[in-house]
Structure 1
Amino acid sequence: MTVVESVSTSAPVPPPAARARSVGGSPVRDILAVTARPEVINFAGGLPAPELFDADGIAEAYRAVLAEEPARALQYSTTEGEPGLRGALAVRMSVRGLPTDADDVLVTTGSQQALSLLATVLLEPGDVVLVERPCYLAALQAFGFAGARVVAVPGDERDGLDPQALEELVVRERPKLLYTVPTFQNPTGRTLPGGHRAAIAAVAARHGLWIVEDDPYGELRFEGERVPWIATHPGAEDRTVLLGSFSKVMAPGLRLGWLRAPGELRRACAVAKQAADLHTPTVNQLAAARYLADRDLDAHVRRVAAVYRERRDAMLAGLSDALPEGASWSRPEGGMFLWARLPSAYDTTELLARVVRHDVAYVPGAPFYAGEPDRSTLRLCFVTQTPEEIGEGLRRLRAGLRG
């Protein structure tokens, strides 16, 4: 019997779409992977402090939902989200100065999904998106995957983007949308002043521009007065999408976010969400609604913010010794992040590997920029370590930066 050996003549599979190839990955991902080691004091993460989660309250909400309505909790739901949760979210926005009905709200699987839905619905390849300088990294990725051309709006260190520069760019570039995190921004921690917010709303109204206002950190205020949302200003009513999330105030593992948007755009996002995941998990939505009904989320957030303030203060107290002469840094009134700029001779991406060898980590600033980055910048998260751990981490950072 003759055995014939087969020779594979299989053709290669088609490559990924151009948008996937063009976005690429994070230049620091491999280096930061080592920060999972328990001995590393990690200022690089964007994670809330897990020891502050109201685990008992959340667990009780799940138990109640599964005991009282298990069939509903474990069943498919509507794409727009559970009515009880949408109603509770509408109330929370209304009492904060933005009149909202349940029908104005679409529940999403984290606010990151809201960004993806908006990119899908609003953007064609080549469309222009305006962002802050620097900007939340995952937003840059979402817009990049949609094929958008992302342009940064000039601004200053303290107050963020400049409304006059925004208007000039809107006239020149004809963008589809402006994306902003105006309160306790990621990565800088800065807050856009009220006057700037009103001016942005007026620019959008004059020139026909969507505003995507992302507010995952706004409730984590330590000091100062709350600044009203851009969405509350005249001219912004029919063109602002407000994004929110329970990730920083309840728990990120719930994967619960939402968007509030004008009707036609909200309905288009619901269709896009249906194609993506049908709906956000029903049991998570019902448990969150039950938690809001039975517990005082605002009191919980105040307790968390008080701890975060102590940790921010500990980091601020040690930065002058940790960073080289000539460095500067922000003093956020809330949120999770602090932004630092070293003298121009420093490249924080190149320095990271050396710093990690001292068992401490930060995020280099370069990936947060659309266009030419400032390579002397870095982001520090101050919420996941105790004041004592922060002090030790800053001593390690000083050693790492000095070689």
Structure 2
Amino acid sequence: MTQRGERQADFAYQAVYRYMINLINEVSTDTRVKLPSLRQLAARMNVSISTIQYAYSLLEKEGRVYSVAKSGYYAWPMSANPTAWLGGDLLDRLYAAARRPAMVVLSGDEPALQASLDATLLRLERELVRQYPGNLQPWVQPCGVWELRAALAARYTSSPTRCWHADDVYIGADLRGVLDILVEVLGLKGTTVIVESPCDWLILRLLQDAGVRVIELPWTVQGRLDSETLERLLRDEPVHLVLLSSAVSLPSGVAMSAEDRLTVAQRLDRYGCWLLENDSLGELSREVPHTPLRDLVNPDRLIVFSSFEKILGSEAPYGYLLSRRMSAELQRQFLLRSFRLSSIRQRAIARLYQSGRIEQHLCALRQQLREQAAHMGLRLAHHLGDQVTYRVPAAGATFWLGSNRAVDMRQVFQYLLARQVVIAPGELFSVSGLHHQYLRVSHAFNGQPSLESALMALSDALRQAQTG
């Protein structure tokens, strides 16, 4: 009886998530509907507020709900009329459209959809439940279970001087929650941060909401970072930290050369600047691996963040970070958040690393993504011809397309919505008006007939939206 009860509590967020999905699907009006508060749902379902928060965070990431400060959560309307999506924030409109039935969603970057480990994780969980028949979590572990923290520390250790320990690793409910903690611990409000551009919209929105002054460092058309501009900014601006990818930049899919990594590391060390390294796609790089940026900079001014979602999928949404410094404050902030994470699921993920099963999975996933990227390149050449320029991405599941003619990309976006296709306009990946002539499309797409139709519609949209 104890075993069953513990397992039910351990996966309470899944029951809450399913309940909320049904509740949201009941929304049939063209207006936004306020959802129950965290406290109301916690009382209604007899679970902790943190469990409700976790379920809401998953729904928000999927674009099913959105939050309003000091007001609560709201469900997006299920309007079937594309003209209802004309107003409002572009990202909100993208999320609302992506959850509509029968939409061809080319806007995401979900590489793990191509090689699921759900069955393996469930089998490991069943074994672990038998192994831990008593209390599945005998003590509070607000920073994540020790087994998974130790597995990640071992994976990131590369030498006796570039080593990590379990106490340097912190695991949260999702990447957004982990980044929220970093903003608080690093005291980023009101400071200046340099970010590579284009940059993931989750990161940009979070920094904006936190009152951070963001300076964008664009990738050049040759696929390189402008190290001279970086030098000038570090010299002339009060830069608190620099946010860069460890191996491959999102969404451009560009890998920094070994020479550029060394140059960037030297400049960061010269000015004593913190590096916040995004390792979300580090495991999926299809190129010959170079020494990662984190192994070239001062480890005492380094924080690495990532999540399991890009390689394991939505069943492993946890975000994590590695840091040698500020351990007391990080532990305090994770304790205050009271993330309710599945200890069994975390241990199952740890087993994937400990057994070497993760390497087999990554090898298969990289190969599948490589093949799909090649096929997508052929389709782009066939359907879009000289309308766009692009390079085959070094990792991930998307192409970063640049229009060869001046177009109104918002008009392209709206034209495609009317034809049940969702793309991600490039302006979403900037806070200073960059990338208006770009868009992101996914190549991890299995519905081939729909993909062919979607690319033909995109070609038509680019022609219709020309401005010059």
TM-score of the pair, normalised by structure 1: 0.86
* Pair 1:94 & 2:157 matched: yes
TM-aligned CA deviation for residue 256 of structure 1: 2.1
Preserved CA contact (<8 Å) 1:94 1:100: yes
In 2, the alpha carbon distance for the partners of 1:237 and 1:277 equals 28
Number of residues paired by the alignment? 379
In structure 1, the partner of 2:312 is 250
**CA shift in 2, pair 1:124/1:312, >3 Å:** closer
In structure 1, the partner of 2:239 is 175
* Pair 1:263 & 2:325 matched: yes
**CA shift in 2, pair 1:318/1:95, >3 Å:** same
Q: 1:110 aligns with which of 163, 174, 184?
A: 174
In structure 2, the partner of 1:310 is 371
Preserved CA contact (<8 Å) 1:181 1:213: yes
> Which runs of no fewer than 5 residues in structure 2 stay unpaired?
1-67, 71-87
SS of the aligned residue for 2:194 comes to strand
Preserved CA contact (<8 Å) 1:130 1:150: yes
Preserved CA contact (<8 Å) 1:358 1:397: no
**CA shift in 2, pair 1:28/1:394, >3 Å:** same
* Pair 1:55 & 2:118 matched: yes
Pairwise mapping of residues 35-50 of structure 1 onto structure 2 (< 5 A)?
A: 35-50=98-113
TM-aligned CA deviation for residue 70 of structure 1: 4.5
In structure 2, the partner of 1:5 is none
In structure 2, the partner of 1:216 is 280
In 1, the alpha carbon distance for the partners of 2:115 and 2:453 equals 21
In 2, the alpha carbon distance for the partners of 1:26 and 1:269 equals 33
SS of the aligned residue for 1:228 comes to coil
TM-aligned CA deviation for residue 282 of structure 1: 2.2
TM-aligned CA deviation for residue 16 of structure 1: 4.6
* Pair 1:372 & 2:433 matched: yes
Q: 2:359 aligns with which of 298, 304, 313?
A: 298
In 1, the alpha carbon distance for the partners of 2:192 and 2:107 equals 30
Q: Deviations over 1:61-96 (max 9, x none)?
A: 111222221444356632232111111111211259
* Pair 1:198 & 2:262 matched: yes
Preserved CA contact (<8 Å) 1:183 1:189: no
SS of the aligned residue for 2:300 comes to coil
**CA shift in 2, pair 1:37/1:330, >3 Å:** same
In 1, the alpha carbon distance for the partners of 2:172 and 2:159 equals 21
Preserved CA contact (<8 Å) 2:112 2:309: no
In 1, the alpha carbon distance for the partners of 2:300 and 2:129 equals 39
In structure 1, the partner of 2:420 is 359
In 2, the alpha carbon distance for the partners of 1:167 and 1:297 equals 38
Preserved CA contact (<8 Å) 1:332 1:338: yes
**CA shift in 2, pair 1:76/1:27, >3 Å:** farther
Pairwise mapping of residues 19-38 of structure 1 onto structure 2 (< 5 A)?
A: 26-38=89-101
Q: Deviations over 1:257-292 (max 9, x none)?
A: 32111232x432222222223464323222212333
TM-aligned CA deviation for residue 364 of structure 1: 0.2
TM-aligned CA deviation for residue 357 of structure 1: 2.2
In 2, the alpha carbon distance for the partners of 1:67 and 1:107 equals 24
> Which runs of no fewer than 5 residues in structure 1 stay unpaired?
1-14, 18-24
SS of the aligned residue for 2:239 comes to coil
Q: Which structure exhibits the higher relative contact order, with contacts defined as CA atoms closer than 8 Å and separated by 6 or more residues? A: 1
**CA shift in 2, pair 1:35/1:268, >3 Å:** same
In structure 1, the partner of 2:207 is 143
Task: Give every structure 1 segment of 4 or more consecutive aligned residues whose post-TM-superposition deviation is greater than 6 Å.
Answer: none
Q: Deviations over 1:292-332 (max 9, x none)?
A: 33461111111112111121112111223433635211221
In structure 2, the partner of 1:230 is 293
**CA shift in 2, pair 1:203/1:78, >3 Å:** same
Percent of residue pairs identical? 23
**CA shift in 2, pair 1:70/1:107, >3 Å:** farther
**CA shift in 2, pair 1:335/1:158, >3 Å:** farther
In 2, the alpha carbon distance for the partners of 1:51 and 1:135 equals 24
In structure 1, the partner of 2:37 is none
In structure 2, the partner of 1:275 is 336
Letter in 1 for 2:229: A
TM-score of the pair, normalised by structure 2: 0.74
Q: Deviations over 1:97-116 (max 9, x none)?
A: 94222222122223333322
Preserved CA contact (<8 Å) 1:315 1:387: no
TM-aligned CA deviation for residue 214 of structure 1: 0.7
Give the superposed CA RMSD.
2.5
In 1, the alpha carbon distance for the partners of 2:219 and 2:205 equals 22
Q: 2:226 aligns with which of 162, 172, 193?
A: 162
- Larger mean Cα displacement after TM superposition, 306-315 or 90-99: 90-99
**CA shift in 2, pair 1:360/1:49, >3 Å:** farther
- Larger mean Cα displacement after TM superposition, 299-308 or 392-401: 392-401
Letter in 1 for 2:398: F
* Pair 1:67 & 2:130 matched: yes
Preserved CA contact (<8 Å) 2:445 2:451: no
